Amino acid sequence: MSQIRFTKQHEWARMENGIAVCGITDYAQKALGDIVYVELPPAGKKVKSGEEAAVVESAKAASEVYAPIDGEVTAVNDNLSSTPGTVNSDAENNGWFFKLKPADPAQIDQLMDEAVYKEYLKELTA
């Protein structure tokens, strides 16, 4: 399994066979609470790192989901339309939002690895 990387906005990306699988972190889903709706980008949409790529709504609030890297959406997790709660139960695996064909695969290396992200979370909760 390839290494998962994280953004400061609590998105994650994991490279699988040259494609970046992306979603929100476990920390983000806990902060949002019960996820009730996910708006996914259309396949073929080009996104830039830090730009809004999707929207997630919970009982508490709606929140933008930003692209962790530049790329083109190749697939979306259609299961989230009927079972958005998958994000709550398995945010960093089956709760993925979209897949990107990276414009620059090396861009993922600029994101935080798991150890750095955990330290970042400690700073937020201190």
Can you spell out the DSSP letters for 54-105? EEEEESS-EEEEE-SSSEEEEEE-THHHH-TTHHHH-TTTTT--EEEEESSG
pTM of the shown model: 0.95
80: containing domain = 4-125
- Say whether pLDDT at 2 is over 80: no
Average pLDDT in the chain: 95
- Say whether pLDDT at 125 is over 90: no
3-state secondary structure 29-40: HHHHCCEEEEEC
The domain tally of the chain equals: 1
pLDDT one-digit tens code per residue, 30-66: 999 999 999 999 999 999 999 999 999 999 889 999 9
Half-sphere exposure of 34 (CA within 13 A, CB side): 2
CATH of the domain at 93: 2.40.50.100
- Say whether pLDDT at 110 is over 50: yes
Q: 69 near 107, Cβ under 8 Å? A: yes
